[in-house]
Amino acid sequence: MSTTTVPRSAGSAVEDSGKAGGTSFWSATRLVAEREMKSFLQLKSFWIGLVVIVVGLFAMSVLPSVFGGGQTSVAVVGGSEVRAALEQLDAEIVEAEDVAAAQELVRAEKVDAAVVPDTTGESVTGVRVVALTDPPAEIVAGLGAVPPVDLLETSDVSHGEQSLVVLVLALLFLVFGMGGVAIAQSTVTEKQTRVVEILVSTVPVRALLAGKIVGHTLLTVGQVVVVAIVAPLALRAGGHGDLLTVVLPALGWFVPFMVLGFLLLAALWAVTGSLVSRQEDLGTTMGLAMMLVMGPYFGVMFFFDNETVMTVLSYVPFSAAVAMPARMFAGEAQVWEAVASLGLMAVFAALVTMFGARLYSGALLQTRGKVALSQAWSHAD
């Protein structure tokens, strides 16, 4: 009986050699991602954290309207007759030295409005009312004849509303960014239990990293989408429905910026976990990742009203995830700026992931204490 040998193509040989060493890269990445997602979706802490975020959004929107309806405060410059009229409205009167001081109190939202002398002759009552964004109907009505009303801000959102939205965006970035600690903890657990040695025998090391990043990024995307859906509902519940027209575009930009921001941090968190072999040592390697999460939070919170600083922060890859959506909300940035910032973040995320993958592969199988970055780099495959 004769046999015929069929020559195998080079492509088939490569394909088989790839399978012989274990699962292919993309299949392994998918398997690891599914494993990470399933394990975290089964944790009560994951769902509790998401519920806390949703409840917090409603609380920040509703509670100010519930507890903030106290006595009206008015800054007054001169005029005993004006004081008498305002006292009938049960208004808290705040003395102001001059018109400029009264306007500053209104801008800082320390008072609801100000009543100042009219120097133009337009007012039959001899006074003018100064408000921030909307005419104070109760105060105007209490003055008898309707006086002229000067609005200090003509934008769609007030300074207080802008502060609230920036606070929410910064807090969400902080919460989701610190969520990357789960990647580090997962990596350390696999090293400490020596499970990683079994995994890398069938799964490429870089596929293990890619699967962790993809899995946790998808979890973050799901949470961000939930926030984007819940936020408009919370605004309506708190009586801020008029803000939807300016908040929705900002939320639309926040989703891709947050996803890219998490991708930037994910590889760093994985490297943080790969450098140590015990959970109790994790704190010694978390400094850089925590700084890159906390830095944008404090930077945006401290300088959100400084247009120059916010412009710079919106092009710095790690802080752009918060700064650019905040600028879009305030109407200080154009669409092309947001697109350019997204492109810059995408390029930087790719570079960080490449460097992170090399460090991760060089440190993952070293289980004798803390691994130096130089040692991890030199031992990379």
Contacts of 296 (CB under 8 A, 6+ apart): 170, 173, 313, 318, 319, 321, 322, 323
- Note whether residue 4 is domain-resident: no
Q: Are residues 176 and 123 in the same domain?
A: no
Write down how long the chain is.
381
Specify whether the CB–CB gap between 71 and 90 falls below 8 A: yes
Specify whether the CB–CB gap between 260 and 346 falls below 8 A: yes
Range of the domain at 114: 71-151
pLDDT tens-digit profile, the chain (381 residues): 444 433 433 333 333 333 434 568 888 888 888 988 998 888 888 898 889 888 888 887 777 655 555 567 777 777 655 666 566 666 677 777 777 887 788 777 777 777 777 777 676 667 777 777 666 666 666 666 677 777 776 655 666 667 777 877 888 888 888 888 888 888 888 887 878 778 878 888 888 888 888 998 898 888 888 888 888 888 787 776 666 666 777 778 888 898 888 888 888 888 888 888 787 888 888 888 888 888 888 888 888 878 889 899 999 988 898 889 888 887 788 889 999 999 999 999 889 888 888 888 888 777 777 877 777 787 766
Q: Are residues 216 and 309 in the same domain?
A: yes
Q: Are residues 147 and 166 in the same domain?
A: no
Where is the domain boundary, 128, 151, 174? 151
In whole angstroms, what is the distance from residue 119 CA to residue 128 CA? 9
> Which CATH number does the domain housing residue 136 bear?
3.40.190
- Note whether residue 285 is domain-resident: yes
Residue listed under structure tokens 């105060």:
139
Where is the domain boundary, 151, 175, 202? 151
Specify whether the CB–CB gap between 226 and 46 falls below 8 A: no
- Note whether residue 38 is domain-resident: no
- Note whether residue 66 is domain-resident: no
Q: Are residues 171 and 101 in the same domain?
A: no
Q: Are residues 214 and 117 in the same domain?
A: no
Q: Are residues 121 and 214 in the same domain?
A: no
In whole angstroms, what is the distance from residue 205 CA to residue 14 CA? 19
